[in-house]
């Protein structure tokens, strides 16, 4: 019985990490999906040490909530900034506009060998005009031009599968452990039973700083 309870607790913890993704505007604001088969989307203000609930992630063509494989990247363009979200489960791609608190559907990420973007997939912005999208499990790499609002073909050279030791391993999300961080889950999303935390550099290694619990209900705007 005790073993069953431990297994169930471990499964709940791992499930809670599926689809949780975050990005920052580098000016004190963090944007994050809760994941775990929800559409919840939040922003965190470092100045006010407060969370705010934003417009939910669209259900989209497949009528699915946010699942594993989700990733986000923040792109600053002039005085404006946008959150680009690759919605896990399939290949839906969105842009969130903070000024309007609205989501806009963009051209879907390339389907490649399989339409599903699995756990371990990630987005990264080069700071200029390109977002790179790594498709875990299938090891495909794509590029998106934020100026032209279009995917750049052909497929980029994929991350190597064979490592330095000669072992073949594909990229994926590692099994969840308490306090772990994965490509799709830069930080644990707050819940009513847990408080938010962020990792900051320190002379003797990284340390975790605990912040205020996510209040319920959450205000809609700052």
Q: Which two tokens stand for residue 11?
A: 């499964």
Task: List 66's β-bridge partners, or say none.
Answer: 38
> pLDDT tens digit string along 12-50?
434 445 889 999 999 999 999 999 899 999 999 999 999
The CATH number of domain 2-213 is 2.40.10.500: yes
Domain boundaries defined on the chain = 2-213
CA–CA distance, 137 with 119 (Å, rounded to integer)? 8
The pTM assigned to this predicted structure is 0.69
pLDDT tens per residue, range 40-92: 999 999 999 999 999 999 999 889 999 888 999 999 998 899 999 999 878 99
- Chain centroid to CA 213: 21
């Amino acid at each position: 019985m005790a073993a069953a309870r431990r297994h169930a607790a471990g499964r709940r913890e791992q499930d809670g990490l599926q689809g949780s993704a975050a990005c920052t505007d580098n000016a004190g604001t963090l944007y994050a999906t809760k994941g775990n088969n929800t559409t919840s989307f939040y922003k965190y203000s470092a100045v006010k040490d407060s969370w705010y609930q934003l417009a939910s992630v669209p259900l989209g063509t497949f009528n699915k909530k946010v699942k594993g494989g989700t990733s986000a990247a923040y792109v600053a363009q002039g005085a404006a900034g946008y959150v680009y979200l690759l919605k896990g489960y399939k290949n839906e791609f969105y842009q969130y506009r903070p000024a309007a608190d609205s989501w806009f559907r963009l051209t879907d990420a390339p389907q490649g060998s399989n339409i599903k973007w699995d756990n371990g997939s990630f987005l990264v912005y080069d700071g200029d005009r390109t977002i790179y999208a790594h498709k875990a499990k299938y090891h495909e790499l794509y590029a998106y031009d934020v100026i032209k609002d279009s995917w750049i073909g052909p497929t980029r050279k994929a991350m190597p599968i064979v490592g330095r030791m000669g072992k073949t391993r594909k990229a994926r999300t590692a099994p969840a452990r308490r306090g772990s961080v994965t490509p799709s889950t830069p930080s644990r999303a707050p819940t009513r039973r847990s408080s938010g935390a962020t990792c900051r550099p320190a002379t003797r290694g990284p340390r975790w700083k605990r912040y205020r619990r996510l209040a319920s209900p959450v205000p809609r705007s700052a």
